[in-house]
Structure 1
């Protein structure tokens, strides 16, 4: 993943979607290992390149994610979710301007289960979705990054199914993204991703991979997909 991070930030332009996908979906241990490998391979911390190749709110979001502070427990605390929902409201929709630090603090440290509960509590308490608040309060890459984190919290397999579909059906097959997604998830949740893919796109992941790849490469991917 260190090489993927480097390539997402090197060359002309930055692949913001790839950065969010990698940092947003990795466990704390995976992100720590990526950071250590990045230092070994490139002689400087990954944070240096994040600062050099991104800016503003999006830079702050990525730097928060790379700190590996996400709670990895599986249970949600309803009282905490209500409190976080209120903090997010007061930091955004309830005031003129946005307190971005509150958003980053909650979105990059709470467990996925806790974020799911917070999303539900926010809409129940305030009559509009957290996604709509983010759309109003943030712009450009920061908005996209936060919305993708919320999508991960609500339905990670669905989010990754969409990333796979984009890799297959965009302007030419994005082989690097396709390989990364399948290899990184094949022993984690690829079965769930396959089910979401079929629900969303009315075809199987296997069928689309078979249509868009060939030869030994196709055989290897189909073997991993199962």
Structure 2
């Protein structure tokens, strides 16, 4: 296979569009994009709330030069792993802690200096999928990468878990929303912890608002 990064991204775009059409036609789940994603020719970090497989697809469709920071094991999966590498995904070895983030930062800086750049690198600050209404501590990795590279951080709020839960079933028909919020930069002298606190407030408050808009109250899911 010799698609290169652009070719691999074209193939990925076709597959993502097919999956989202299938979700709409067969399960009645429509995805609505709000806000403005990073421009196609720019480099950026995307920090997103993560509730289900659906928000992975929706964010990847919106960010045309997408790449994920993902578990190293995923890159060993036949075909999928190859395409993940080609589109610019970066593996993380969670057992290596701060050393892992240092390696990722070095890869990002190296790619920024190259002709293709780093693209739109998607991270999930909570580190895993969450149920609607659930909040976990945000890891500091996104702040570290932002401060080391200077790349803007685009927060993304979602309510996808109301319709396509983290376990995959049951799927409920409805309009799932992902919303790109204005990009953030650390203030001069701001600590990683303070930046994460600001980022967390922006993402969580807007995700809560999107879920409330869809009828989520407390731990109650919207009526079908």
Shared fold per TM-score greater than 0.5:
no
Higher strand share: 2
Q: Which has the higher contact order (CA 8 A, sep 6+)?
A: 2
TM-score by length of 1: 0.29
TM-score by length of 2: 0.29
Higher helix share: 1
The structure number with the bigger radius of gyration is: 1
